[in-house]
C-alpha cells in the first residue's frame, strides 16, 4: 500500500488540493498532512485566506498532524489570546481572528506522529528532547534512530526535500541528498525530509512538494508542482535537488 504525504500547506488551499490530487494520481491509498497549518509565506501576497486549508482537511477527513507552532497558536486561541495587546505577527493574528474555538481544539489535539506499516509520518518537531526529532543534526538523528521502531521516518520542511539520513547495519550514520525524484530506501533505518506545499524563497517558493512511500518503506517518490500553474514540474524539482546544499549539521 502506498501513503502520500505533504506538509506546510499554510493557507494555500489550491496548492494543497493540487498536491493532494497529484499524490492520489501517483497511487496513494491514503494521504496524510504532516502539519504546518500556520506557515503561509512571509510576504502578504503569498498568504491565502486564513483557516481555509484546515477546514478543507477536516471536510475531506484527511488525517492531519500538528507541529509545535500549530499547537501553540491553537493554544493561544483556546486561551482567548487572539485579542491580546502583545505583539503577534499580522498573519498569525489573522489566523487567530478566523479560527473558531472548536477548530482550535481540533488542531491542538492532532498528534505529532503516526505510524503506518513500516513508516512513521512525522511533523517537524525540532526540539532535541522530542520523541521524534527532525534529523537535521547527527545528534538528533542518533536520538531518532534510538527510539524509531519503524524502518523509516518522514518529516516536512519549508526548505524543500533536503536530505536522506541512513543508519547502516554497522550503526554508521550518513546523510546524503536525494538522487532524484525517486530513491531506494536500502538501509536498516532511514529518515528523510520531503519538503512542503509552501516553501521559503528564493529556491523553494515557486515549487510545492509531496511524497509517496510504500508502507514497507522500500522506495520514495517525490511529487513536485509549479506553485503558480499547479502543474507537475519534475525537471525543475530534479534540478533544485541537485543544486541545493545538504541540510545537515555534524
Flag whether pLDDT at 90 surpasses 90.
no
**What's the mean pLDDT in 149-160?**
93
How many residues would you count in the chain?
250
Please name every residue paired with 27 in a beta bridge, in sequence order, or none if there are none.
none
- Cβ atoms of 158 and 198 within 8 Å: the answer is yes
Residue 209, pLDDT > 80, answer: yes
pLDDT at 82: 55
Going from the C-alpha of 108 to that of each of 73, 105, 140, 179, 233, the distances in angstroms are 8, 5, 25, 36, 34
pLDDT given at position 139: 87
What is the three-class DSSP state of 3? strand
- Going by pLDDT thresholds of 50, 70 and 90, the confidence category of residue 57 is very high
CATH topology of domain 2-37+59-66+111-243: Purple Acid Phosphatase; chain A, domain 2 (3.60.21)
Task: Give yes or no for a cis peptide into 202 (omega within 30° of 0).
Answer: yes
d(CA 4, CA 76): 31
Confidence of residue 84 (pLDDT cuts 50, 70, 90): low
pLDDT band at 127 (very low <50, low <70, confident <90, very high): low
Return the minimum-mean-pLDDT range out of 6-10, 42-46, 61-65.
42-46
199 has pLDDT over 90: no
Q: Where are the beta strands (DSSP E) in 20-131?
A: 30-33, 63-64, 113-116, 119-122
- Containing 54, the helix (H) or strand (E) segment is helix 52-59
Q: Which residue has the higher pLDDT, 247 or 150?
A: 150
Confidence of residue 38 (pLDDT cuts 50, 70, 90): confident
CA 83 to chain centre: 29
Q: What is the DSSP string of 177-246?
A: ---SSEEE--SSEEEEE---SS--TTTSTTEEEEEEEETT--EEEEEEEETTT--B-HHHHHHHHHHSPP
User: What phi and psi values does residue 55 have, to the nearest 5 degrees?
Assistant: -70, -35
Q: Cite the DSSP H helix spans in 60-182.
A: 68-78, 90-98, 101-108, 138-147
Among 33-37, 91-95, 134-138, the range with the most confident prediction by mean pLDDT is 33-37
Amino acid at each position: 500500500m502506498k501513503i502520500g504525504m505533504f506538509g506546510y500547506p499554510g493557507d494555500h488551499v489550491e496548492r494543497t488540493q493540487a498536491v493532494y490530487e497529484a499524490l492520489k494520481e501517483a497511487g496513494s491509498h491514503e494521504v496524510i498532512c504532516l502539519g504546518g497549518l500556520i506557515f503561509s509565506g512571509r510576504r502578504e501576497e503569498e498568504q491565502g485566506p486564513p483557516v481555509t486549508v484546515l477546514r478543507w482537511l477536516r471536510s475531506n477527513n484527511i488525517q492531519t498532524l500538528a507541529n509545535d507552532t500549530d499547537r501553540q497558536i491553537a493554544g493561544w486561541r483556546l486561551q482567548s489570546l487572539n485579542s491580546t495587546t502583545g505583539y503577534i505577527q499580522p498573519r498569525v493574528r489573522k489566523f487567530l481572528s478566523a479560527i473558531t474555538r472548536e477548530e482550535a481544539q481540533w488542531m491542538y489535539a492532532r498528534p505529532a506522529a503516526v505510524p503506518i506499516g513500516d513508516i512513521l509520518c512525522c511533523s517537524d518537531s525540532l526540539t532535541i528532547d522530542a520523541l521524534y526529532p527532525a534529523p537535521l543534526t547527527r545528534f538528533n538523528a542518533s536520538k531518532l534512530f534510538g527510539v524509531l521502531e519503524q524502518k523509516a521516518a518522514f518529516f516536512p520542511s519549508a526548505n524543500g526535500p533536503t536530505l536522506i539520513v541512513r543508519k547502516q547495519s554497522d550503526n554508521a550514520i550518513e546523510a546524503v541528498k536525494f538522487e532524484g525524484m525517486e530513491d531506494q530506501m536500502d538501509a536498516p533505518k532511514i529518515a528523510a525530509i520531503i519538503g512542503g506545499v509552501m516553501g521559503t524563497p528564493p529556491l523553494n517558493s515557486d515549487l510545492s512538494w509531496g511524497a509517496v512511500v510504500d508502507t514497507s518503506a522500500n522506495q520514495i517518490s517525490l511529487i513536485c508542482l509549479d506553485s503558480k500553474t499547479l502543474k507537475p514540474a519534475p525537471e525543475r524539482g530534479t534540478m533544485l535537488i541537485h543544486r541545493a546544499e545538504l541540510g545537515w549539521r555534524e
